[in-house]
Amino acid sequence: MVNEEQFSAKDLVARAQALRDGGADVNQVADLLAKADSQAANYGIGIILDGHGRPMPTSQELMAQTIQASEEGAAATYLSSKTLSAALLQQVLRWQRIPAKFWGDFLLVTPSDAGTGAVNTAVQMYLMMNSKITSLAVEELSWPVYQSIAASNRVGFESYGLHKEEVVAPHLLTVMQAAPHNSTGYVCPAAIIRTRAEICAELRLPIVLDRAYPGFENAGMLAGQGYDAVMQRSCDHYLLPFLQAGCSFALSLSPTKAFRSFTLRPCGLTLVYEPDHQKRKLLAGAMNTINRGRGSAFEHPASRAFIRSLVENRPVLELEHGQTLQRVADAQALWQKLLQGHPLAAAFSPQYAGLFRNLLSSEGCEEAFYKAHIYPVFAASRCRINVTGIPLDEDQAKAHIDVFTRLLSL
């Protein structure tokens, strides 16, 4: 650990650059530096923090089910959740509050590697179905792993504006955030989503909807209106326009943030909506081929546990999801309170929500943050903040806010 006598913010900037030059992900850089500083406030780690700088506890439901699944697997036998597939599909659709009239047109596969796997499976499936796709298109300032997904699938990569309506084209496979944008927190207006859905349907082009943070945009209404209303409103905003337009899409879901499964890393969920029966049969074959080719037919105990939890105990998981949403809501409320009258308050207006904000940084910003023992994520001229990093102690939180307002801008 770095003590005060050894601490040098300038040296940390040099170390951060060396880590980046060595190929470390910007998220890893923030976490590695914070772990070496005994006074660190980690705003860079991509998990839900509890207000004391610690990760919120792993889902008790998933932990208990994983222990049970591990014990059941002690004998060298092949275990599979295949018999739960139909029930799992229904429970996932219920969790997402998708109207029952659309259920018959959905397929589901469970890729082994959570959020990244859920997106990558959707990308590979559509690339397999259409050899004319030459590039992956994502919203600007999006999750950096998208570039790796494009490169690993040997297609080009491009981005489009957060406000752009025409985002699909015959040579593109488009990915859109179907929750607060990762990494800015931007909540796409309903009118833009409806227009995107209508254009996708008109051109008969599919789209990948990445839903890493389901319901997070409505966290503030949880206490007053309840979990069901939060999730139904989220479905109506992000998913219903595509369903009503009859647009083909893949919905990529991960339990990582919603159910706090960080240490367990169970499977992801790739839902595919295809109203055309013949196309749906072809997509089912492609999904099965991809999943088997990636080894996802062999389940990790945590994946088996997650599947069983959703099938048997969805209300318990939803209760834990609600706890996650409440922590996000409490953190956002504190930011709003302490930022009153400052331009940065706009980043906590209803136009933004969820786990992250991505702001412009000033010259010398990185060193100044490290000097204050604050560790967000730095990339180019931007600074990404995990909003749940803010302490519950208001005096400590205000000291942090003072640093943010001095060094960052919209």
Q: Using alpha carbons, list the distances in angstroms from residue 386 to 13, 182, 184, 353.
A: 20, 11, 10, 11
Q: Which of 318, 350, 365 is the last residue of a domain?
A: 318
Is residue 4 in some structural domain?
no
Residues 300 and 327 grouped into a single domain: no
Confidence of residue 337 (pLDDT cuts 50, 70, 90): very high
How far is Cα 390 from Cα 410, in angstroms, rounded to an integer?
Answer: 19
> What CATH number did the domain enclosing 16 receive?
3.90.1150.10
338, 394 Cβ separation under 8 angstroms: yes
The residue ranking higher by pLDDT, 131 or 380, is 131
Position 297 scores a pLDDT of: 59
In this structure, what token pair is assigned to residue 177? 């955030």
DSSP-derived secondary structure letter, 59: P
In this structure, what token pair is assigned to residue 142? 């999006």
Position 410 scores a pLDDT of: 92
List all residues 6 or more positions away from 196 whose beta carbon is below 8 Å from its beta carbon: 165, 166, 167, 168, 176, 207, 241
Q: Report pLDDT digits (tens) over 235-262.
A: 999 999 999 999 999 999 999 999 999 8
Residues 95 and 126 grouped into a single domain: yes
How many residues does this entry show for the chain?
Answer: 410
% the chain with pLDDT above 90: 86
Between the two ends of the chain, the Cα-to-Cα distance in Å is: 34
Residues 280 and 352 grouped into a single domain: no
Helix residue ranges per DSSP H, 172-300: 190-203, 222-225, 227-238, 240-245, 255-258, 277-293
How far is Cα 242 from Cα 173, in angstroms, rounded to an integer?
Answer: 16
Q: Using alpha carbons, list the distances in angstroms from residue 53 to 27, 288, 389.
A: 16, 41, 6
251: region left, alpha or beta (phi > 0 left; psi from -120 to 50 alpha): beta
In this structure, what token pair is assigned to residue 158? 């491009």
> What CATH number did the domain enclosing 91 receive?
3.40.640.10
Residues 295 and 181 grouped into a single domain: yes
Q: Which domain holds residue 403?
A: 9-57+322-409
Tell me the torsion sign for CA atoms 199, 202, 206, 212.
positive
How far is Cα 122 from Cα 271, in angstroms, rounded to an integer?
Answer: 9
Residues 363 and 279 grouped into a single domain: no
Other beta carbons less than 10 A from residue 154's beta carbon: 8
Say if residue 19's pLDDT is above 60.
yes
Is residue 2 in some structural domain?
no
Residues 214 and 344 grouped into a single domain: no
Residues 363 and 309 grouped into a single domain: no
397, 51 Cβ separation under 8 angstroms: no
Strands 356-361 and 269-273: unpaired
- On whether the pTM is more than 0.85, the answer is yes
264, 58 Cβ separation under 8 angstroms: yes
CB half-sphere exposure, 50, CA atoms < 13 A: 7
Q: Report pLDDT digits (tens) over 29-79.
A: 999 999 999 999 999 998 999 999 999 999 999 999 999 999 988 776 778
Position 262 scores a pLDDT of: 86
How far is Cα 49 from Cα 46, in angstroms, rounded to an integer?
Answer: 9
% the chain with pLDDT above 70: 97
Say if residue 406's pLDDT is above 80.
yes
How far is Cα 44 from Cα 32, in angstroms, rounded to an integer?
Answer: 10
Confidence of residue 296 (pLDDT cuts 50, 70, 90): low
Is residue 341 in some structural domain?
yes
Is residue 362 in some structural domain?
yes
Q: Which residue from 316, 321, 260, 256 is spatially nearest to 111, judged by alpha carbons?
A: 256
Position 80 scores a pLDDT of: 84
How far is Cα 208 from Cα 292, in angstroms, rounded to an integer?
Answer: 21
Is residue 3 in some structural domain?
no
Say if residue 123's pLDDT is above 80.
yes
Other beta carbons less than 10 A from residue 263's beta carbon: 14
Q: Report pLDDT digits (tens) over 86-101.
A: 999 999 999 999 999 9
Position 29 scores a pLDDT of: 92
Calculate ∠ Cα 168-170-172, nearest 5°.
Answer: 60
| Domains: count for the chain | 2
Residues 167 and 52 grouped into a single domain: no
**What mean pLDDT comes out for the span 7-16?**
90
- HEC string of 72-136? HCCCCCCCCCHHHHHHHHHHHHHHCCCCHHHHHHEEEECCCCHHHHHHHHHHHHHHHHCCCCCEE
Per the prediction, the chain carries an average pLDDT of: 94
Is residue 285 in some structural domain?
yes
269, 65 Cβ separation under 8 angstroms: no
Position 92 scores a pLDDT of: 98
Q: Which of 318, 348, 373 is the last residue of a domain?
A: 318
Confidence of residue 140 (pLDDT cuts 50, 70, 90): very high
Confidence of residue 115 (pLDDT cuts 50, 70, 90): confident
Residues 260 and 142 grouped into a single domain: yes
Calculate ∠ Cα 162-255-123, nearest 5°.
Answer: 55
Residues 169 and 247 grouped into a single domain: yes
Residues 354 and 283 grouped into a single domain: no
Q: Which residue matches tokens 């412009």?
A: 360
Confidence of residue 24 (pLDDT cuts 50, 70, 90): confident
Residues 255 and 371 grouped into a single domain: no
Q: Which residue from 353, 368, 101, 80 is spatially nearest to 238, judged by alpha carbons?
A: 353
149, 123 Cβ separation under 8 angstroms: yes
In this structure, what token pair is assigned to residue 297? 């037919």
Q: Which of 296, 318, 340 is the last residue of a domain?
A: 318
In this structure, what token pair is assigned to residue 40? 């660190």
